[in-house]
A = this chain, B = another copy of it.
Amino acid sequence: MNVDALVFDVFGTCVDWRGSIVREARRWSRDLGRTIDGEGLADAWRAAYGPSMEEVKSGRRPFTYLDTLHRETLDRIAGRFGLGGLEEKTLAHINRVWHRLDPWPDTVPGLRRLRAKFLLAPLSNGGVALLTRMAKRAAMPWDLILSGELFEGYKPEPKVYLGAARLLDLPPERVMMVAAHNGDLEAAAALGLKTAFVLRPTEYGPAQTTDLAPSRTWDCSVDSMEALADALGC
């Protein structure tokens, strides 16, 4: 395959954002003595993710850190899910749940194997600080942290993929984008990167309807990071 580096989508591909938020929301319910709808919160929060980044991508708004976009959404929806009227410190902690997402069970074992052969980095719309703290907490063995923040952009903007290849000092075809989202791979492939699809059929919960299969023939299509390590001979 002649690839030197693998770059990974994170939310959904490496970590289970929905399950992690649902699990933490149970703790908030207990600690705050409130009934919090964790599933509803996670789904509504994530539903605002694309539209909030679109404001930046379209140029209607200067580059804004994802934590800030997450917080704006939280402030708007908190009341609907049992989180109204909380003090600033509590809201700041809740917003940083995106720094504390748990990997899927196969992620860390798979990355450990892949790391023996390739440079590994996230390439996420999460910020550098978010990705660094998430990786440290979950022992995700990245060689470096790459983020749209470094290029003041958000995937699927071309500058994010090309900026990653440039920082790695590699031509795009020596870099493989790994993602559970066909759209991410479409953008990467159009710029010459190699592509690996990882099926994550419950990222959006049991009723997921999107990205249940590769939309076309990618360089690899697998159903776990361990299977990716197998496919790439690690």
Contact = CB atoms under 8 A, between A and B. Distances in A.
Interface string A61-89: 00001010000000000000000000000
Interface residues of A, number: 21
Given A145-B144, A145-B145, A167 B136 contact: no
A231 interface: no
A129 interface: yes
A168 B136 contact: no
Contact of A168 (B65, B132, B144): B132
A31 interface: no
A119 B132 contact: yes
Contacts of A170: 129
A38 B136 CA distance: 40
Interface in A166-209: 167-170
A167 B146 CA distance: 11
Contacts of A160: none
A190 B129 CA distance: 24
A128 interface: yes
A213 interface: no
Contact of A128 (B127, B129, B142, B144): B144
Among A65, A127, A144, A168, residue most surrounded by chain B Cβ atoms (within 10 Å): A144
13 contacts: A119-B136, A127-B167, A127-B169, A128-B169, A129-B167, A131-B144, A132-B143, A135-B143, A136-B143, A144-B144, A144-B145, A149-B167, A150-B167
